[in-house]
Structures are given as structure tokens and as C-alpha cells.
Amino acid sequence: MLTKWCVPLLSIPSLLLPAQNPAPTAPVPGAPQARPEVMLLPQIVVLPRGKTEISVDGALTEWPELPGIRLDDRRQISGTAHNAWRGPDDLGAIAFMMWDDEALWFGCAVRDDWHRALEAATLALSEIPVADSVVLTFDPERNTRAIGPDPGRREDREFWLADEAGRQVVQWDRLRGSARVLEEAKARVVVLHDKQKGITSYEARLPWSEILPVGKKPTVGDVLDVQIVINDFDETTDSMPQTRAGLTFGVGPIVDPGLLASLMLVPDASALNGVVPTFPPKPGTAQAPLPGKEFWEQLSARLVQNPPVVHDGKSVPADCGGTKRLAVLEAIEEQVASFPRVDFLEFHQRIHRRMLREVAGYTLRGLPSWWRQRLQSVSKQAEDPVPEGAVRVFRLPTGGWLFRSATRNFLVDPSGADLAEFLWGATEFCILTQPLDMTTRNDQLLVGMFTAEPPRPAYHHIAFHLPLVPMERMPLAELGKTYGQASGIQLHVLGKPAADGTVPYSGSYRIELPKGPRLLLVGQNLRAEDVGEEPVDLLLLSPLNAEAVAIVRKVKPAMVFLDGAFACQSQPTLPRITLRQFHAMQAALQPTPSVLLAPGESWDVKRQ
């Protein structure tokens, strides 16, 4: 019989074989403090199925005795803030694997006090499914070292298992941003939930043909790298998991997404009798998984040496600022364009649900490390005095804007990690033009604003799920209404509801600062007929607005900033806008002057 799952969960004897040495981890500035002890990097022995007949029906009673793979240690839990994790009864698991010539068999018993199945007809392969789930990742060549465009991920295979009516296994290709449903004759998963006992059972058959490279068969002694992650959704209105448990999450003070455990296919149960097989070390890689620290430092230095320039029509936009500036912008564009969309979305999910150790892991290296470096630079530069009557506008590294004057500071669509750490002093209020797009906001910053004494205003026209803030108590900005502040700032919410009362996806705002420049934030849904002819010193323009050129022609702003440049793709059906397309828009807006700011850059705007 399978190792029994007793109560309490910690009473299960662990048969997981530990590595001889823990994986080294480097300290990360701003990362949570190291815990007293870290877990060893797991090494798993997988026994053969033998003559045991298995029916994939969600019941694990016919499984033989197997090593238990533990995922119930608090060090393996990510997302414990705001009482999201209340102990092993809330989320804890033990998993099992066995193999034969055709398939890898996976079983898992998850203790979860509330189970969220996938809603009917909501399996969209282009998005991360919203349901309690187990995600299995296999790296046959054991060469994955980082999240993002690491070449070592090319042959990796990831499988999504959840309570889905079709009993289908979804195979993700996170690097390329694709997914597919595997043939039921080869792959199958059944998930059963015992509400009375609070246990969800996962049982799956995964064909080796979907795990291993083409033509490779499983053999005794084979070693693969593996990750097991359990996503726990505990809120009916939340599209993100509040808690996650991961096989390697306890290996260090941060969760390195490029660090996988290892499994070995063994011939018999001798590994359970004290005969521990020797696992070979992970192989070296022919090339660095991502550009190193020096590359990103040089990129920042080149950006500083080649500052932004106004495009005034005297040259083509690509030549604005010279060839050296164009070269550095193209280097940034290349890095942003190659960052996988699913990784970008999951990075934001980890930020929103305060999974600090995972966020620290994302920002260890690659593009997220540069975003953090640039945010530090913005925080430092924002300390410099701003001339009276002017506003200094910073393009935030991951997306969004910081507006800073001699006396007033506010944010528009701020996104990315550690915003509260670096920009809290500049967050008097916040405007969200696309509140439903999780890549254009920072939930933890917003929670801090709502719970501050006194609360700091956040203006948005659509409600969304936010931890600790009931949606019915969330104040909304009404279209067509004006909001004044004690500081004298006036915010006019533009547009009007449709005849049936619905509001557009994005919001637009006109902002008047006392003795300062007049600002217009143009979202993607604003129509030219809903814009007045009041003077505008700066127009922040969404390039997705179909009437963008008409709005600029009508308003005649002194300056236009283009929003969304150097942003990762976030929507599955909407390709990202390239640097070349932004240059084309600058040309189309002539004779109105425009500036294209790179991540972390700033520009002073004065009242005309």
C-alpha cells in the first residue's frame, strides 16, 4: 500500500532522499532574511510500477508502497502574508511517482480546506488557468538555470493537472508561450476532492514521449531534473493563487525559479533499504543562461550617456538622439521582446500576492534584475529637487509613471516589484487607467494605500480583487466626475458610460496641478469627442487608442509621451508594440513634439 497520509501531516515518515549538500544561494539586496535552516536540494528515487495495475480514477488505494515526496514544510510555502496560509490543513501535500516503459505515473494527496475546481468551459490554453492545481516541470537535460529566455529551457516539459471536467492533461511550453491538451489515450488526470476530510487527490499518467526528447526511451539510472508546485486558490473572486507549495522552495532564503530538484529511475525497492544511489552532478552549460551583471550595468551606463531627445520632425524618429541612443534602445527592446509572456504574468502574480521569496528569486538575474536596478535609480533621482512650476515625469522600469513636483507626488499605472520599498514617499495618490490588467498595477502598494492612516486615494473606475479590501467597499472614480484634493489638485475623469451603464475597459483623466503643468492621460478607449479643448502641457498617450492621432490634433498638447514602450507582451491575442511601431507613431503625430522614454528615464515638463 501507498504510504498512508496520517493526521497530523508531519507524522508521515519521509522517504525523500536528500542531496549531500544544500544548493548555494547568494544574498540578494532587499530579499527577506534567511531562515534559521534551509532544506537540502531534494533527490527523488522513482520505483518501477512492476505488475501493479493502475486505473487513473483519482483513487490512490491500489498504488504500491512508494517513497513519499514531502511538500508540507513551512519553508516550502510561498504566500503566507495577510494570513493566506494557516498551516498544513490549509495547504500541504505528499506526492508519489512510479514508472514503466511507457509512462511516468504521478499521485498526490493535497490537504486543502477549500478546493477550487476549474469552472466549466473556462480552460483557455492561452492563459494561466484559475483553479487549484499541480504543476510538474521536467528538465531531461538538467540544464535549466534561470527563469526567462534561458536556452536550457528549450527541451523542458511542464504539465498542468487540475480538477477539469475533461480529465485532460495540459502541456505548457512556458518559454515559447504555447500550450496544448494531450491525447486522452496517452495522458490522463483525475482529481477527486473529499470535502469532509479536506483532501484532494491527484492521479495522472504522463507518457514518456511527452517528457523526454524525441526518440529517447526511459532506462534504469536515468536522471531528470524536476519541480513540483501546488497552486492554492482560496478566494472565489481572485484570479491568482494566494498560496503555493514548491518542492525546492525551502532550499534557500529565496526561491530561485531556475533551481530544480532531481529524480532517478531505479530498478527496484533496494533504494528503500539503505542503498542510496549516487546522483550525478548537474552538467555544466555551454553558455551563460542569461546576460550577466556586467551586461546590465553597461546597459544602464549607455542609457545615461545617451539621454532622451525631443522628436520635433527635423529627423526621422529612429535618428532622434543619434545612433548610439538608438543602439541602446534596440538592446533594451531585444531583451524585453524575448522575455516569455507567461513568466511576465507569473512575476506579477507573485508580486501581487506578496510571495516575497519568489519575487526575490525572479529578480536574481536577467531582465527583472535590471528592472530592480533601474527602480533603485529612480528612487535616488527622485530625491533631487524639482523646479517650481514643473513636474518631473519618470518612466517606471516595469511599467507606469511617477509624477513628482516641488510639492506633489503621484503614480499612474505603477507596476513591478518593491514599489512600496522605493516609492512610498512619492505615493500621495495613484491613478489606474486599466485596473483589470494585473501588469499595470501593484496590489501590495495599493493595500498599503488603502490601509494607511489616513488612507491614500487610489482612483480607478472598475473594481477588482484586492487582499484585505472588500470589493463592495472599494471606492470607484465615476466617469464625468471631478475629484478635488486638499492640495488643490483637480482630477477630471473623462468619458461617459454606455447606454446600458457599462464603462470602458480603460479610463482617462485630465489633471490640473496648482501653478503646475496641465496633464491629460489618454487611455485606449477614450474618444476624441469626449475630450475638451482645454490647454494641455503634457499628453500621456496609449498607442492602442484608435483615435490617438485625432485626439492629439484636437488637443494640440505642448508635448506627448508615449505609454507602453519597452513593455513585455501581456495579452495573448494582442502582440506587443515594437520600438519601430512607436517610432512610426511619433512620425504620425507630427508636428506635435514627442518624447520616448526608456525604463527609468525622466523628463521635466513645465506649464506653457
Give the residue from 39, 93, 88, 87 showing the smallest Cα distance to 71: 93
* 167-176, 254-263, 476-485: least confident range: 167-176
Q: Please, which pLDDT band fits residue 387 given cuts at 50, 70 and 90?
A: very high
- Please give the average per-residue pLDDT across 287-306, as a whole number: 95
In degrees rounded to 5, what are phi and psi of residue 254?
-120, 165
CA distance 79 to 346: 13
Q: Is the peptide bond before 454 cis (omega within 30 degrees of 0)?
A: yes
Phi-psi region at 78: left, alpha or beta (left = phi > 0; alpha = psi -120 to 50): beta
pLDDT tens across 93-132, in order?
Answer: 999 999 999 999 999 999 988 899 888 767 777 788 889 9
Give the residue from 137, 204, 193 showing the smallest Cα distance to 169: 204
CA distance 439 to 572: 13
CA distance 206 to 159: 9
- Per the CB < 8 A criterion, the answer to whether 229 and 245 are in contact is yes
Last residue of a domain, one of 235, 255, 273: 273
Give the residue from 472, 369, 359 showing the smallest Cα distance to 420: 359
The amino acid that residue 538 corresponds to is L
Q: Grid cell 517650481 — which residue? A: 388
> Which residues have C-beta within 8 Å of that of residue 7, sequence separation ≥ 6?
none
Cell for 428? 500621495
Last residue of a domain, one of 216, 249, 273: 273
Per-residue pLDDT at 36: 52
pLDDT tens across 172-231, in order?
Answer: 888 888 889 999 889 999 999 999 999 999 999 999 999 999 999 999 999 999 999 999
> Which residues have C-beta within 8 Å of that of residue 157, sequence separation ≥ 6?
137, 138, 140, 171, 210, 211
Give yes or no for residue 4 having a pLDDT over 70: no
pLDDT tens across 320-363, in order?
Answer: 999 999 999 999 999 999 999 999 999 999 999 999 999 999 99
Question: Structural domain tally of the chain?
Answer: 2
| 44 and 178 together in one domain | yes
Four-point Cα dihedral 477, 482, 487, 489, nearest 10:
100
| 145 and 221 together in one domain | yes
Give yes or no for residue 142 having a pLDDT over 60: yes
| 326 and 269 together in one domain | no
Cell for 204? 495522472
DSSP 97-163: EEE-SSEEEEEEEEE-SS--PPPTT---TTS---S-EEEEEEETT-----SSS-GGGTT-EEEEEE-
Cell for 77? 510555502
- Please give the average per-residue pLDDT across 58-77, as a whole number: 93
Per-residue pLDDT at 350: 97
Burial letters 456-481, b for 16+ CB under 10 A, else e: bbbbbbbbbbbbebeeeebeebebee
What CATH number is associated with residue 601? 3.60.15.10
Give yes or no for residue 300 having a pLDDT over 50: yes
Quick one: which H or E segment has residue 228?
strand 223-232
| 337 and 416 together in one domain | yes
Question: pLDDT averaged over the chain?
Answer: 90
Give yes or no for residue 159 having a pLDDT over 90: yes
Count other C-beta atoms under 10 Å from residue 113's C-beta.
14
Q: Grid cell 491613478 — which residue? A: 431
Per-residue pLDDT at 590: 95
| 421 and 488 together in one domain | yes
Q: Grid cell 537540502 — which residue? A: 40
Q: Please, which pLDDT band fits residue 84 given cuts at 50, 70 and 90?
A: confident
- Please give the average per-residue pLDDT across 381-398, as a whole number: 96
Domain membership flag for residue 292: no
- Per the CB < 8 A criterion, the answer to whether 537 and 521 are in contact is no
- Please give the average per-residue pLDDT across 397-416, as a whole number: 96
| 331 and 245 together in one domain | no
CA distance 437 to 464: 10
What CATH number is associated with residue 61? 2.60.40.1190
Per-residue pLDDT at 173: 87
Give yes or no for residue 11 having a pLDDT over 70: no
Domain membership flag for residue 59: yes
Per-residue pLDDT at 27: 45
Domain membership flag for residue 2: no
Cell for 325? 541612443
CA distance 155 to 557: 51
- Please give the average per-residue pLDDT across 481-496, as a whole number: 92
DSSP 249-281: TTSSSS--TT--EEEEE-SSGGGGGT-PPPPPP
Give the residue from 82, 79, 83, 111 showing the smallest Cα distance to 95: 111
| 485 and 580 together in one domain | yes
Domain membership flag for residue 285: no
Per-residue pLDDT at 25: 41
Domain membership flag for residue 281: no
Count other C-beta atoms under 10 Å from residue 524's C-beta.
21
Last residue of a domain, one of 217, 243, 273: 273
Q: Please, which pLDDT band fits residue 12 given cuts at 50, 70 and 90?
A: very low
* Cα angle for residues 275, 276, 280 (degrees, 5° grid): 140
| 246 and 343 together in one domain | no
In degrees rounded to 5, what are phi and psi of residue 381?
-65, -30
Domain membership flag for residue 287: no
Per-residue pLDDT at 121: 67
Cell for 56? 487513473
Per-residue pLDDT at 295: 97
Secondary structure class of 406 (helix, strand, coil): coil
Which residues are registered as beta bridge partners of 193? 200
What pTM, to 2 d.p., does this model score? 0.92
Domain that holds residue 375: 321-606
| 353 and 240 together in one domain | no
Per-residue pLDDT at 305: 98
Longest dimension (CA), the chain: 83
Domain membership flag for residue 307: no
* Cα angle for residues 29, 23, 171 (degrees, 5° grid): 95
| 248 and 334 together in one domain | no
| 265 and 344 together in one domain | no
| 419 and 525 together in one domain | yes
Domain membership flag for residue 33: yes
